[in-house]
Structure 1
Amino acid sequence: MSAINTLSITVFVFFCFINTVSGQNKEQEHKAIKKVVNQYLVGDTQKQFDTLKMAFHENAMMKYVSSKSGYQEYNALEVFKGDIGREPEKNRANEINYVDVTGRAASVKVTVTYPDRVVVDYVNLLKIDGRWKIVSKIFSLKN
């Protein structure tokens, strides 16, 4: 076998290995991100503030536009803290629609369906000190 053929095979095997490792890493990152988003969804549905604190960065913001008062933004954990002691929500379905990751940044679309309305969340995460954290959430009612 010529040196060129050996080099070609070596390069091919190397790139196959890199693609496999890269694919595994991508799958692991998606799994880790979904875990954090599910902590948010379970914590919000069950009104478990400690679970929400695991998902959200302490400075995470929640933003939306109200039909009555316009643009609103709040510290997410401060909003969720107001739910302490409330009953868990029933008749609510949560669905992660997609996860998009680039490096240490991710965006996740979530649909929360209630009997009388559908809310769509766009949740943004950053990988901080090796852990994914929700740093912002925007949301709107689905028309």
Structure 2
Amino acid sequence: MTQIQAQNNDLQLIEKTINYYFDGMTTHNAQSFEKAFHPNATMKWVDKKYEDVNAIKSLSEYVNTNNPVKTKTSIMAINIAGNAANAQLELEYDTFSYIDFMHLLKVDGKWKIVSKTYSTRTKSDKE
């Protein structure tokens, strides 16, 4: 297999991993997070202060205590370098968007999100 074919295969596998995350967020299926994230994956953000939590646990708690709402998802960029990759995603809601920066590693032949950092952008910030 040539390097380009291998990278295209990795790209498809990364997109599959990201789609598990999107499924968890849009349908509130917490089990999808276990397919997308490494068990030790972290999620980090700054609101009033810096926060750092286990991604699967925190996202599962969120979807299990809130109702799903209409969400438009998109992959804005994916970069791959060997067994490491990053992806920029957007989850767009009525009044705001989450901009996610995912870091992925190929662990035991499977792409897993190992770190998520994100920011929130209101609709007025886009205009």
> Same fold per TM (> 0.5)?
yes
* RMSD of aligned Cα (Å): 1.3
List runs of 5+ in structure 1 lacking aligned partners: 1-17
Q: CA deviation at 1:85?
A: 5.7
What TM-score do the two structures reach when normalised by structure 2? 0.89
**Among 82, 104, 110, the residue aligned to 1:125:** 104
- Contact 1:36 / 1:133 at 8 angstroms: preserved in 2? yes
Q: Measure, in 2, the Cα distance between the counterparts of 1:124 and 1:139.
A: 11
Alpha-carbon deviation of 1:26?
0.9
Q: How many residues align?
A: 121
2:13 to 7, 23, 32: 32
Q: Which of 84, 88, 92 is the equivalent residue of 2:64? A: 84
For normalisation by structure 1, the TM-score amounts to: 0.80
> Which sections of structure 2, spanning at least 5 residues, go unmatched?
none
Q: Which residue of 2 aligns with 1:48?
A: 29
Q: What is the correspondence of 1:47-126 to structure 2 with a 5 Å cutoff?
A: 47-66=28-47, 68=48, 70-82=49-61, 83-84=63-64, 86-90=66-70, 92-126=71-105
Give the Cα separation in 1 of the matches to 2:3 and 2:60.
Answer: 39
Q: Answer 1 or 2: which has greater strand percent.
A: 2
Letter in 2 for 1:122: F
Q: In the TM superposition, what is the alpha-carbon distance from 1:103 to its structure 2 partner?
A: 0.6
Indicate the structure (1 or 2) with the bigger Cα radius of gyration. 1
User: Using the alignment, how far apart are the partners of 2:69 and 2:115 within structure 1?
Assistant: 22
